[in-house]
Amino acid sequence: MNKPHLVHLKIRRGGPDQPARYEEFPFEFEDGQSVLDALRWIRGNRDASLAVRFSCINANACKECVMRIDGRTGYACTTPLHPGDMLIEPLPNKRLIRDLVTDTLPPDER
Amino acid sequence: MARYLETDVLIIGAGGAGMYAAIAAATAGGEVLLLDKSVIGRSGATIMAQMTVAAAIGEEEPDDWRFHLNDTIAAGRGLVDEPLARILCQSAPERIWQMEEWGIGWARSGNHITQAHAPGHDRNRCVYVDFLSTGPATSRTLRNQCRRHDNIRRISDLTITDLVVRNGRADGAVGLYLETGEPVTIAAKTTIIATGGLTSLYQRNSASANMGGDGFALGLRAGAALIDMEFVQFFPIGHLAPRLIGMDPIMWDPFRYKLGGRLLNGEMEEFTQNYGTAEDGKYVITRDTATYAIYREVEAGRGSPHGGAWLSFEHISEADLRAAFGPVIDRLADNGIDLTKMPIEVSPIAHYHMGGLRVDQTMATDVANLFAAGEAVGGANGANRLSGNAITEAFVFGELAGRSAAEAAANTSLPDVRDAAGPYLAVIEEAGGRPEPDGGTSPTAAIADLQSILQRDVGPFRTGDGLTGALAAIAELAAELPLMATGGAMAFNQQLADWLALRNMLEVARTIATAALARTESRGAHQREDHPGLDEAWTCNQIIRRDNSESGGGITLSRAAVRRLPGPEGAP
């Protein structure tokens, strides 16, 4: 079996009218687990108020979980966790809704 | 003060069925409002579809819809609503050609559309889009078509919480706009439920996170009847190990369609022949039999390390793997998987719901002005669905429901539901007003609890004791529901969305367990360990209704004769 590793996720929290605030969540993981696995675990076990858009969970079909991971744009569901610190932020070039959710919808679907 | 919207046809759920319904209703001339609790055309089950769509288009070899109908009825183990299945099979070719016209790009070989063989079909009948792209291509095509109609208004992030019913008639709905937390009231001449199935009620499932059976609960509370709720299809060879990210867990189905593969137990021996189906490197075993065989092997101590079976393509050459799946082979390599050198582990996962809202041949439920489409419709697949019929059903039932709802809307005046919406809006307001828990669990954690309960006791193998225990556990969670915290007023409040989802999931879980407990036989996807074998006396459907009176809340179960066609359709 895989030996668990430890990652410290530093997550940017808050809405558009609030100052940026970073919260840290430690998460033990096995090889192959994704950033979205960690974010879903945090919602289920540490803080259900964390806002993160996702739908298909693992298949990279819905493309909803796009965010900024370690300073680069990527999908949470296909980005593997790595031991140490990881910085998780909303997309910088989209209107912030709350936490990791930004306005990524087409303008005519609102 | 809630936002107030008006439309001719309201469509709840924007997967394949909902989008097809929107296009059909808009083409018929109505104003359409198409909603999704997540993102239009991106959430739900359709986009997850990997490969097969069954239709007797006769491109690969001569075929006729009657052959497709015969296979569908045989797969359904005596419970198929035959008039619905007839509509499904007869209209399927027209929809496949319409999708081709709209540019979906069905896979071709030479000058014809390729049709693959899938288990349970008597010939090569299933069209697809390479590579594993049927779902994304379907969603993209239908999204583009929806955009071409000015009379389709689309709204993402809008969760419908209840239908507004007056005098036994569906007059619209109320819901929550997730982005702002604002309540919304909708007046609609007609409404279509296109919310898909209920697979996210189970811990191990192949669906998006939001497939919690919302439409079944909306229908029940509005007074509609549900049929065949005990029949949940488990997909036998869902991916189990090693961890695989960025891929759909049902991806091994297309691999088996194209390459066969060998299913092996923990002792690396073929075993399906001991359960009545020798495979011999081909993919012929039906879903219910494969699920049964894998469970039994695991139970007998002959499972793979993670508790499933091995699936091996080691005998297939690298060149053949690449010819069949091209870029997918690289994505597997990124996950450390080389199929020429290693088998992978698979096990049954919740995949599709045969049951659902009971409709007539126009897709109308028995609540006036309320229709259903796609997987939300029950009956057409009986006790076991044939591979390839799910997307077909989204197209055919979606188109039909859209047309029927637009026709009915043309003869209906726009209702005013401002006053009638009050009690339904109060549910959202009350749920949203509990930032701190009064001692209960969080709804997010409770959903995980419910998924464990259903996986263990309401899964593919059931016992009277297990089901009774599950019903008690479901009732316990339902009692805690009014105390669960929802985070308070905030933008994109998923905790409140989870609470609203759980409210529906508990309602629906109860109907599955109740119907499964009553059916004291084993048939198709419903297997009772304490009642093995099919019992002819149970060749009937079970119908569920909810007591919606003020002191009510209970459900009633009754039996109904299976709807049959007047005579055999016979060969063409």
Q: Which residues in chain B have their CB less than 8 angstroms from residue A90's CB?
A: none
Across residues B431-436, what is the average pLDDT?
83
Yes or no, beta carbons of A44 and B498 under 8 Å apart: no
Pick the closest to residue B123 from B65, B170, B80, B169 (CA basis).
B65
Contact B135 A61 (CB under 8 A): yes
A95-109, B88-102, B395-409, range with the lowest pLDDT? A95-109
Nearest to A48 among B156, B243, B487 (CB): B487
Using pLDDT thresholds of 50, 70 and 90, give the confidence band for residue A10.
very high
> B196 vs B193, B202, B508, CA distance in Å?
8, 15, 13
Is A62's CB within 8 Å of B243's CB? no
Instruction: Give the pair of three-digit tokens for residue A32.
Output: 């192959």
Domain-ending residue, one of B327, B348, B369: B348
Interface test with A, best of B146, B452, B492 (most A CBs within 10 A): B492
Structure confidence at residue B554 (pLDDT): 93
The closest of B354, B346, B318, B53 to B199, measured between CA atoms, is B354
Residue A68 within a domain: yes
Q: CB of B349 within 8 A of CB of B206?
A: yes
pTM for the full predicted model: 0.95
Confidence at residue B440, expressed as pLDDT on a 0 to 100 scale: 66
Strands B3-12 and B108-109: unpaired
> Rounded to the nearest 5°, which phi and psi values hold at B408?
-65, -35
Stronger pLDDT, B280 or B189, i.e. the higher one: B189
Among chain B residues, the shortest Cα distance to A17 is held by B491
CA distance B305 to B309: 9
Task: Share the mean pLDDT of chain B.
Answer: 94
pLDDT value for B553:
86
Residue A63 lies in a domain: yes
Testing the interface with A: which of B36, B235, B243, B452 to mutate, by most A Cβ within 10 A?
Answer: B243
pLDDT tens across B265-323, in order? 999 999 999 999 999 888 889 888 899 899 999 999 999 999 999 999 999 999 999 99
Partners of residue B448 in chain A, C-beta under 8 Å: 44
pLDDT digits (tens, 9 = 90+) for B488-524: 888 999 999 999 999 999 999 999 999 999 999 999 9
**What's chain B's length in residues?**
572
Beta-carbon separation of A32 and B244 below 8 A: yes
**Whose CA is closest to B29, among B114, B125, B150, B130?**
B150
Closest CA to B287 of B526, B453, B537, B532: B526
Residue B335 lies in a domain: yes
Is B51 in contact with B134 (CB distance < 8 Å)?
yes
Judge whether B425 and B129 are in contact, CB under 8 Å. Answer: no
Indicate the DSSP class of residue B224: -
Which residues have a Cβ under 8 Å from the Cβ of B422 and sit 6 or more positions away?
A: none
Q: Which of B287, B462, B503, B523 is catalytic?
A: B287
Q: Is pLDDT above 90 for A109?
A: no
Q: Identify whether A66 is part of a domain.
A: yes
Are residues B136 and A55, on separate chains, in Cβ contact within 8 Å? Answer: no
Chain A CB contacts of B493 below 8 Å? 49, 51
Beta bridge partners of B187: B6, B172
Tell me the three state secondary structure of residue B39. Answer: coil
ipTM of the complex: 0.94
Buried b (16+ CB within 10 A) or exposed e, B371-408: bbbbbbbbbbbbbbbbbbbbbbbbbbbbbbbbbbbbbb
Angle CA B535–B537–B539, to nearest 5: 85
The SS3 of residue B266 is: coil
Please indicate, yes or no, if residue B405 is contained in any of the structural domains: no
> How many other C-beta atoms lie within 10 A of the C-beta of residue A34?
23
In a domain, B120, yes or no: no
Q: How far apart are CA B123 and CA B153, in angstroms?
A: 41
Question: Given a cut of 90, is residue B416 above it in pLDDT?
Answer: yes
- DSSP character for B526? B
**Do B491 and A54 make contact, defined as CB atoms within 8 angstroms?**
no
Decide which of B348, B379, B397 is a domain's last residue. Answer: B348
Note whether residue A43 is domain-resident. yes
- Active-site residue, B287 included: yes
Confidence check: pLDDT of B481 > 60: yes
Domain count for chain A, please give it: 1
Most A CBs within 10 Å, among B33, B245, B442, B493, to test the A interface:
B245
Q: Which residues pair with B353 in a beta bridge?
A: B232
3-state DSSP assignment of residue B158: strand
> The domain spanning residue B449 has which CATH number?
1.20.58.100
What count of other Cβ atoms lies within 10 Å of the Cβ of residue B249? 25
DSSP β-bridge partners for residue B543: B227, B558
CATH number, position B267: 3.90.700.10
- DSSP β-bridge partners for residue A11: A23, A88
Q: What is the mean pLDDT of residues B242-268?
A: 89
Question: Each residue of B115-133: pLDDT tens digit?
Answer: 999 989 999 999 999 888 9
Number of neighbours of residue B226 by Cβ within 10 angstroms: 27
Q: Pick from A25, A65, A81, A79: which is nearest to A48 by CA? A: A25
Is the pLDDT at B438 greater than 70? The verdict is no
The answer as to whether B267 is a domain residue is yes
B262 pLDDT higher than 60: yes
Residue B514 belongs to a domain? yes
Q: In the A/B pair of chains, how many CB contacts fall below 8 A? A: 117
| Partners of residue A45 in chain B, C-beta under 8 Å | 445
Say which range, A2-6, A22-26, A74-78, B340-344, has the weakest mean pLDDT.
Answer: A2-6
C-alpha span between B226 and B248 (Å, rounded): 29
Which among A49, A75, A109 is the nearest to B487, CB-wise? A49
Residue B561's pLDDT band, with cuts at 50, 70 and 90, is very high
Residue B268 inside a domain? The answer is yes
Last residue of a domain, one of B348, B370, B394: B348
pLDDT score for A1: 44
Q: Per 3-state DSSP, what percentage of chain A is helix, strand, and coil (rounded to 5)? A: 10, 35, 55
| pLDDT surpasses 60 at A39 | yes
- The verdict on B341 and B444 lying in the same domain is no
Strand-pair category, A21-29 with A72-75:
unpaired
Q: Is A110 within a domain?
A: no
Q: Mean pLDDT across chain A, nearest whole number?
A: 92
% residues pLDDT > 70 (chain A): 97
d(CA B467, CA B483): 25
pLDDT tens digit sequence for B313-325: 999 999 999 999 9
Closest alpha carbon within chain A to B43: A55
Which residues constitute the domain of residue A29? 5-102
Residue B96 in domain: no
Q: How much is the pLDDT for B95?
A: 98
CATH number at residue A69: 3.10.20.30
Please give the pLDDT value at position B191: 98
Q: Does the residue A108 lie in any domain? A: no
In the numeric block, which tokens belong to residue B360? Answer: 């007539």
The answer to whether residue A73 sits within a structural domain is yes
What pLDDT, on a 0 to 100 scale, did the predictor assign at position B257? Answer: 87
User: Which residues fall within 8 angstroms of residue B360, CB to CB, at 6 or more apart?
Assistant: none
Question: CA nearest B434: which of B475, B482, B501, B478?
Answer: B482
**What are the distances in angstroms from CA A43 to CA A39, A85, B157, B442, B485?**
6, 19, 19, 10, 13
Closest chain B C-alpha to A54 CA, distance in angstroms: 8
A64 and B494 within 8 Å at the Cβ level: the answer is no
- Does A62 sit within 8 Å of B210, measured CB to CB? no
In terms of residue numbers, what domain contains B491? 434-534
pLDDT, one tens digit per residue, over B219-234 is: 999 999 999 999 999 9
Task: Please give, rounded to a whole number of angstroms, the shortest distance from the CA of B395 to a CA of chain A.
Answer: 20
- pLDDT tens-digit series, residues B177-187: 999 999 999 99
Which residues lie closer than 8 Å to B475 by C-beta, 6 or more apart?
Answer: B510
Q: What percent of chain B has pLDDT over 90?
A: 84
Mean pLDDT for B136-149 is 97
| Matching residue, tokens 């669905």 | B385
The pLDDT, as a whole number, for residue B202 is 95
Tell me if the bond preceding B62 is cis, omega within 30° of 0: no
Mean pLDDT of B103-125: 95
Top-confidence residue, B334 or B464: B464
